[in-house]
Amino acid sequence: WDCVNPQGSAVTTGAGEEMVELGFIASGGRGLGLRGAALSGSVCNRRVQYVKTIRMAADDGGDADAVIETGSSPDLVVPPTSHQMNALKDLAIAVGVFGTLKVGLGPLGLSKFSGFVNPIGYYAAWLGLAYLPFVVNKDRRVDISSMETRKSTNTDLVAPEGFTNCSPPPRMEAKVYDCSPVELRNKFFTMAKSQPSTGYLSGDEENLTYAFVQTTPLMKYPDVISVQFLPSGQGKSTLAIFSTSIFGQSDVGKNKARVDEWLSKLD
């Protein structure tokens, strides 16, 4: 985070994990005039204390007074655990169990049962295959506004009226929320973190678009959920959300049920 004094020299702040420390170097102490200097920062992975405004004034004697106001930025939000970490954890557990049993049965005189361990190895291999699409394409966010077509059998779409000309059209119109897009994003992140087998995939802070992955409990079939938060006038906001399955031609209504459940919990 940086601010610039009237003479044009940069004053750089150092951000630690829990707080921000500020340091100023002044020559002569005359008329610093840093009134209302603005500080900005990007979204972080934890909530920190930040400096909101700085007001400094100096008299002819060179004595300066400073007023520093601090607070918690609404833009600092903790996203859910990444899908990459969830997938690697599941894969490590499966490989660890397979290797331990395969090696450990021999010394115990139970080698004849080693064939029963093979399905665990097959399961570990499947987990690797299920994660492969996200190695090939790490982002997988969908630009909902420019989407032209979608499958009707394994996707679901809810969006504001006129936001997309996709065919088939959105199943229903998204509601309007009595908060800003950033506040709605924060509430959505909090809700998503509470969902089972859900990981954060990627995001674009400038356009407030994000992607999440939710997997089935055992076989880890992945579904990608793209969401964009939009202003709706008068300090309100809305969203567009698109849920799609990576594998299979039919989701037996799972994506629709997920979107309905997530929007219900967001309320």
Each of the 267 residues of the chain gets a pLDDT tens digit; together they read 333 443 433 444 444 333 333 443 333 333 333 333 333 333 333 333 333 344 444 444 554 444 444 433 445 455 667 777 778 888 888 888 888 887 777 776 777 777 778 888 888 888 888 888 887 777 778 889 999 999 889 999 999 999 999 999 999 999 999 999 999 999 999 999 999 999 998 888 889 999 999 998 888 889 999 999 999 999 999 999 999 999 988 899 999 999 999 999 998
- Which residues have C-beta within 8 Å of that of residue 119, sequence separation ≥ 6? none
Tell me the one-letter amino acid at 243.
S
pTM exceeds cut of 0.85: no
**Planar angle of CA 41, 44, 45, nearest 5 degrees:** 175
Token readout for 90 is 């599941």
List C-alpha distances in Å: 33 to 1, 14, 57, 74: 19, 22, 6, 28
* Tokens 């994660």 found at: 131
